[in-house]
Chains A and B, each alone.
Chain A
Amino acid sequence: MAEIIRAEGLAKAYGAVQAVRGIDFAVEQGSLFSFLGVNGAGKSTTINILCSILKKDAGRVTVGGYDLDAQPGKIKPLLGIVFQNTVLDDLLTVQDNLTVRASFYGLHGRAWAARLAYLSSLLGLEDILRRPFGKLSGGQRRRADIARALVHSPSVLVLDEPTTGLDPKTRRTVWEIVHGLQREEGMTVFLTTHYMEEADGSDKVVIIDGGQIAACGTPVQLKNEHSRNYLRLYGDGAAIAAELRAHGYAAEAEGGACVVVTPSADEARAILARHPQLCRDFEFVKGNMDDVFLAVTGKRLEGGAA
């Protein structure tokens, strides 16, 4: 698959604070790419550089084959951005808001009317087009924000923490829309998030910590490399753990149960087969992105379990 975004040695400092410290990454066309990190890790800075909002201090960025320094004008139409905080105007209707933004891309008249009709049906905006943006619910506002990002049919949809502050139901709706765009429209999605389950659904995850890339790969690769599967055995945790340790397993009592770290499902199955009396009630737990994140950064993500 072709690369649509490539960054090499990207660096940016705010005074003495080094926000991004020479990072490299590549985004494949049509993929869902996640930038995972805590607040202040450098996610938004990176996005702002890609989108020509901030000037980088060093490094090279190409988007769609164009160099960011030489041809920012060619790159801007390729990117559609959903900002962390909305950039639409509360007092104007959704349609007025979108029409103003469409003019930035030379869209007007019949071409814009057709595009607006398409976006309305795609994002379910028909009922809210004529309502003031400020009067909409959180989910409706987010859909309008996504419509703003899509006015000019960009190749890459950039989302900067799109679901932060939304309730779980709205978050799911937004997520379905984004997934739909990627699957059905073949759109590349570049996402920053601090939600594990969002990163888990991506094609590629880059974990950024302190302005540096801590880990990079598909969620499966990351989980295989940085997390451990374990078997949780219910019952008298301490007694079960003591017995398993006697058999040479790395078992520990945890919260009234016994946890045995098992590198693979095969090993877990072997324990279950060999010690059925200890494994009357059990659970096999696969390592998740939370574990990966903890393993590579030593930090826990807020809201990761939400």
Chain B
Amino acid sequence: MNARQEQGMNARGGFAALWQLTRRNLKIFLKDKANIFFSLLCPLIVLALYVLFLGDTQADVVLASLAAQGVTGAEDAVGAFCDSWMVAGVLSSATVTVPLCACGVMVQDRRRGIAGDLAASPVPAWAAPASYFLSAAAAGLVLSAAVTALAFAWLALAGSWCLSAADVFACLGVTVLSVVCSTALLVFVVGFIKSEGAFTGLNVILGTVIGFLIGAYMPLSMFPAGVQYFAACIPGTHAAGLFRNCLMGGALDGLTELSSPAFAEALADEFALRLNFFGHTAGIFAMLATVAGAAVLFLALLVLTRVLAARPARKARTSLREEKQ
């Protein structure tokens, strides 16, 4: 390396390497078609369950309650409400499962000794972990954006579009927040996984369970209180609640006009637009604070683990220097 290259390296620090590594991780994820399919399996199951039987069942239950109040002809409004609920489930599960699958490159790299290549190169120690976070978040955002576009098209074609421009922007904002939060959590957790077998296990378990936990397969209110409380401890559940508020608000307003505010309130609880957190009701702001708080917490933990991992090395060097003196 000549003096100019060295100077350039110092000036730009590891940002060029960070950019290239992030692109690399993202490309590896996007070029693996099977991985993309599996990352979207949970959202696809949500869709399939809804289309095959859950959708009609839910709509029938709501229509029956409305009929009991003497409200008829609400099929379209109820359909829109239930469709929006399903779309919220698809989007919220995608913001968890896509970053999870994108974390696979971390485990692969560990197995293949890429960490050795990085350690032997003049790359700052933070560049690789930061690139894993950025690429998993980018994968989450790219695929979630694609899923959002498809979901919106679905709503429009099914005649269930009840979103205002503000709802759309809020939905995009929640997507970003949810992706950042789940990516921080998952990169932190996957950082401890050493083998690909363990990662596959996590992938399968989380991919299966997450749809239930965040209430994407069926409304959380259908579960016992204990399960609801447990689910409420997961940031993804709160993100799912936020998605529902963005996507179902318009449809709920439509139903409020047809029935009564009290009925709408009951529906909001039933379809988890608000969460039952150990007997307390968590509204939009509580959910927003939980997701943002979890994002900050896990980002801080990520940084902390990096600092701690770098410490013994520094200590060893110091002790060696002392030995020499």
Contact = CB atoms under 8 A, between A and B. Distances in A.
A103 B12 CA distance: 11
B28 to A, nearest CB: 5
B151 to A, nearest CB: 28
Interface stretch (A32-40, A93-101, A179-187, A202-210): A93-101
A85 B119 CA distance: 16
Interface stretch (B44-52, B69-77, B109-117, B295-303): B109-117
Interface of A: 48, 51-53, 55, 69, 73, 76-77, 79, 81, 83, 85, 87, 89, 91-92, 96, 99-101, 103-108, 111, 152-153
Chain A CB within 10 Å, residue with most, of B32, B123, B313: B123
Given A53-B116, A104-B123, A106-B16, 20 more contacts: A51-B116, A69-B317, A76-B120, A77-B5, A83-B113, A83-B117, A85-B113, A87-B113, A87-B116, A89-B24, A91-B31, A96-B24, A100-B23, A103-B16, A103-B17, A105-B9, A106-B8, A106-B12, A111-B5, A153-B1
A55 B123 CA distance: 17
Interface in B9-32: 9, 12, 16-17, 19-21, 23-24, 27-28, 31-32
B280 interface: no
A53 B112 contact: no
A52 B1 contact: no
Contacts, number: 82
B321 interface: yes
B72 to A, nearest CB: 57
Contact of B120 (A51, A69, A99, A111): A51
Nearest to B13: A106
Contact of A99 (B20, B31, B113, B316): B20
Contacts of A106: 1, 5-6, 8-9, 12, 16
A55 B313 contact: yes
B165 interface: no
A76 B6 CA distance: 12
B122 interface: yes
Nearest to B22: A100
